[in-house]
Amino acid sequence: MNSEKIKEIWKENAVKKIDNYTDSEITSIVLKTARKAMNRSYPGIIFWSLLILSCLLGVWVMMKYSSPQLQTYGYVLTAVIMLMLGGAVCISEWGRRKVQRYSFDMPLKEWVELRIQYFDKGIKRSGKWFWRFGLGITVLLLFCLIYIFTEGFSFKILLVQLFSGLTALFIAGTIANRISMKRMIETRQQLQELYNQLQDSEELSK
Amino acid sequence: MAKTDKEEFLSLLRSYQGIIHKVNLIYFSVSEDRKDNFQEVVYNMWKAYPALKNKDKIASWIYAISINTSISKIRKDSRYTFSGDMESINISSLDDDVEVTIDFQRLLDAIRQLKEADKSIMLLYLEDYSYNEIGDIIGISSSNVGARINRAKKQLEKLLK
């Protein structure tokens, strides 16, 4: 079958094969789309809001039941936590806006290229999980030490509670991180394959 | 989106829905998947519409969104694998909704066996788009489009012998 015949078959049949939606069906699809766009929430924002609220609640409980001396540390702790979380929220929001910029109306090659870059950054970030966890632990231990020394709290009890909590957090975090990293690597490979297909055509024309 | 924009969007979709259907046709053989992808394309169009500047090239804009959305869906759905090497045509994979001629079904099956990027390029070629226009939608040069079309045509001819 030659290419003229192929074109002929396509033109004769493609329109017949298509089952166009009626006006009312199109209106209903657009309405559904509009609702979906309005309802689509961003898990990142919910996560950060919950995290900030939990931290503030923790600090408030600590300050309410502690000595005036510790309350000074409480203010410092609040300031540090808010600064760190504020920075993290800004970075997260900036990342989300950047992802949204990868609009679907770009040329295919450009779109694939940007998606690859995005996944590269995600994979790199996931690889730093142990460092980020270590940093979090250091900050937490620092404040625990302050708490122990100022309040004369039993180091043993705190250590047992802290150790079990951190172990659970570390295991859950590592598993989640591994799963997300595996998915990102797989997706990136598929995108790279597609990008190579387009690159291949560049070589064909030379 | 303002009310007039919504009306404009609706009328645009009514006039150009055929483009989305055609892209769906070459990427998905199951009717349900085509319906799902249609909605996803409309959603992505809805998001991108306020930023649309060149309304003279609306068809190219819809093609770009439809192709990118379809590829994104295939990537996310584990039932699909990215097309690579050519295989023989399996005519038993007849589409499930509309009756079509055997020749057209064979052609569809052959196009679906092309590589992901080639499927879109071939579709645009079959829809009489110029090499320059195809290049703009896919993001490669027109000479590359030409080379890619020649190769895909040969592959299709071989598969449809």
CB distance B18–A111 less than 8 Å? no
Residues B145 and B110 in one domain: yes
Q: Which residues of B touch A21 (CB under 8 A)?
A: 17, 38
Same domain, B116 and B74: no
Same domain, B74 and B101: no
Min Cα separation B86/chain A (Å): 14
Q: Which residue has the higher pLDDT, A55 or B6?
A: B6
Check whether residue B127 and residue B152 sit in a common domain.
yes
In terms of domains, do B108 and B35 share one? no
Compute the nearest-CA separation of B75 from chain A (Å). 7
Specify the residue for token string 């020749």: B103
Which of B81, B101, B125 corresponds to the end of one domain? B81
Q: Are residues B97 and B161 in the same domain?
A: yes
**What is the distance between the alpha carbons of residues A68 and A74, in angstroms, rounded to a whole number?**
9
- Domain boundary, last residue among B43, B63, B81: B81
Work out the minimum CA distance from A27 to partner chain B, whole angstroms: 7
* CATH code of the domain covering residue B150: 1.10.10
Of B101, B115, B139, the CB nearest to A108: B139
Query: Do B45 and B23 fall within a single domain?
Result: yes
Which of B53, B81, B109 is the C-terminal boundary of a domain? B81
Q: Is the same domain home to B124 and B94?
A: yes
Residue A129 CA to residue A181 CA, distance in Å, equals 10
The domain that contains B10 carries what CATH number?
Answer: 1.10.1740.10
pLDDT given for residue A35 in this prediction: 77
- Chain B residue with minimum CA distance to A202: B144
How many residues belong to chain A?
A: 206
pLDDT tens for each residue of A2-11 = 778 888 888 8
Non-local CB neighbours of B19 within 8 Å, separated by 6+ positions: B59, B62, B63, B66
Please report, in tens digits, the pLDDT of each residue of chain B (161 residues total): 666 778 888 889 999 999 999 999 999 988 889 999 999 999 889 888 888 877 788 999 999 999 999 998 887 765 555 554 444 444 444 455 555 678 888 898 999 999 888 999 999 999 999 999 999 999 999 999 999 999 999 988 888 87
Of the residues A22, A23, A183, A198, the best mutation for testing chain B's interface (the one with the most B CB atoms within 10 Å of its CB) is: A198
Distances (CA, A) of A84 to A44, A122, A183, B37, B110: 16, 20, 28, 41, 55
* pLDDT tens-place string over residues A36-46: 766 555 556 66
C-alpha pair distances (Å), B85 with each of A50, A136, B82, B88: 48, 48, 10, 10
Contact in structure between A146 and A62 (CB atoms under 8 Å): no
Question: Domain span at residue B140?
Answer: 88-161
Most confident option among A49-58, A87-96, A182-191, B93-102: A182-191
CB pairs under 8 A between A and B: 159
Does residue B84 sit at the A interface (CB-CB below 8 Å)?
A: yes
The reported pLDDT for the residue numbered B65 is 94
Domain count, chain B: 2
Which of B19, B21, B38, B63 has the most A C-beta neighbours within 10 Å, making it the best mutation to test the interface with A? B21
Cβ-contact B126, A10 below 8 angstroms? yes
Burial of A56 per CB tally in 10 Å (0-12, 13-18, 19+):
middle
CA distance A153 to A151: 5
Return the residue matching tokens 């291949």: A200
Are B68 and B144 members of one domain? Answer: no
Tell whether ipTM is more than 0.90.
no
B107, B76: one domain: no
Taking contacts as CB-CB distances below 8 angstroms, the residues of chain A near B51 are 103, 105
- Indicate the helix (H) or strand (E) that contains A89: helix A68-101
pLDDT average, residue stretch A19-31: 87
For A186, which residue in chain B has the nearest alpha carbon? B75
Q: Are residues B63 and B130 in the same domain?
A: no
pLDDT band at A155 (very low <50, low <70, confident <90, very high): low
Give me the pLDDT at residue B138, please. Answer: 93
pLDDT (tens digit per residue) in A127-142: 887 887 787 777 777 7
Q: Report which of residues B37 and A84 the model is more confident about.
A: B37
* pLDDT at A36 (0 to 100): 73
